[in-house]
Structure 1
Amino acid sequence: MAIVAAVDGSDRATAVLAEATTLANEFDEELHALHVLERAELVEVLEKEVEGQDPRDNYEVQQRAERIVSRALPDTTRGDPTVAVRVGDPGAEIVSYAAENDDVRYLVVGGRQRTPTGKALFGSVTQAVMLESPVSVVNVVLE
């Protein structure tokens, strides 16, 4: 089984990875760190056309994901997590990753603390993952 931390380049990534690490340690599970690049980010990273290549297999794309994960890793991580990268809509790609990997136990995502009115809706990515995920979702709410 595996615990999957969905991380972006924001400050929330550290808290998400810390919670995912705690779960992985408690359940003695593998830790996966998943970063999703949106198409606009992909163009920025590559700055060139890559004919016929799956962007997930591109060295620059993988390196960007690994840098984001390494900056956010807590000191309590045992070993290095498996770093996965996807390209597309973040919510859909996170859900897709969990659906395609039968061994995923939990998805860990990060949300923001909301005002009473805003509590009716999570962020669009968090909301999409919580509503569509085939596995349990842990939402790390940050201020």
Structure 2
Amino acid sequence: MAIVAAVDDSERAAHVLKEAETLANDLNEELHALHVFERSELVDVLEKEVEGQDLTENWEVQQVAEDIVSRALPDAERADPTVAVRVGDPGSEIASYAAENDIRYVVVGGRQRSPTGKALFGSVTQAVIFDSPVPVVNVALE
């Protein structure tokens, strides 16, 4: 089994990865770091159209995901998580990754939002909590 840290390209990623690493060490599990690109982000990453190719296998996409994880790693003790990348809706892709990869816990970094913000805008953390087939650890930030 493994612990997966769902990381984005923000300062929160280091906190999420550190918490996932602590959990993985405590439970003697593998550590995975997952970054999900929304399709709109791929324009900036690829700067070209890629027809018929599985975008998760694209070298540039994988490199950007690995760079995001490596920026979050300086505070982490374990320097070699399995880095995975998905393309699509982050909440759905994180839950799917957990279902497909023998994951024990998903670790996410949520933010506090106002009641209006919760009603008007979707939340990746909320989607993962509702859709994940495994327990979700929310690292509360801000």
State the 4+ residue runs in structure 1 displaced beyond 4 angstroms.
118-123
- Written as runs of structure 1 = structure 2, the 5 A alignment for 1:47-58 is 47-58=47-58
Could you tell me whether the CA contact under 8 Å between 2:14 and 2:75 is conserved in 1? no
**In structure 2, C-alpha distance between the alignment counterparts of 1:88 and 1:119, rounded to whole Å:** 22
Question: Any idea what SS the aligned residue of 1:141 has?
Answer: coil
Q: State whether residues 73 and 79 of structure 2, in contact with CA within 8 Å, keep that contact through their aligned partners in structure 1.
A: no
| Count, aligned residues | 141
Moved more, 67-76 or 89-98: 67-76
State the partner residue of 1:3.
Answer: 3
Kindly provide the CA deviation profile for residues 22-55 of structure 1, in whole angstroms up to 9, marking residues without a partner as x.
Answer: 0011011000000000001112111111121100
User: Alignment RMSD, CA only?
Assistant: 1.8
Q: Secondary structure at the match of 2:43?
A: helix
Alignment of 1:85 onto 2:85: yes
Match of 1:96 in 2: 96
Q: How far has the Cα of 1:114 moved from its partner?
A: 3.7
Counterpart CA distance in 1 for 2:132 and 2:78 is: 26
> Compared with structure 1, are the counterparts of its residues 113 and 74 closer, same or farther at alpha carbon in structure 2 (3 Å cutoff)?
farther
In the alignment, structure 1 residue 38 sits paired with structure 2 residue 33:
no
Which amino acid in structure 1 is aligned with residue 20 of structure 2?
A
Gaps (5+ residues) in structure 1? none
Residue identity matched to 2:130:
L
Q: Aligned equivalents of 2:30 and 2:130: distance in 1?
A: 24
- What percentage of aligned pairs have identical amino acids? 74
Q: Gaps (5+ residues) in structure 2? A: none
Deviates more, 1:54-63 or 1:121-130: 121-130
Determine the structure 1 residue equivalent to 2:125: 126
* 1:65 and 2:49 aligned: no
Which TM-score applies when normalising by structure 2?
A: 0.92
TM-score, length-scaled by structure 1:
0.92
Report SS of the residue matched to 1:142: coil
2:110 aligns to what SS in structure 1?
strand
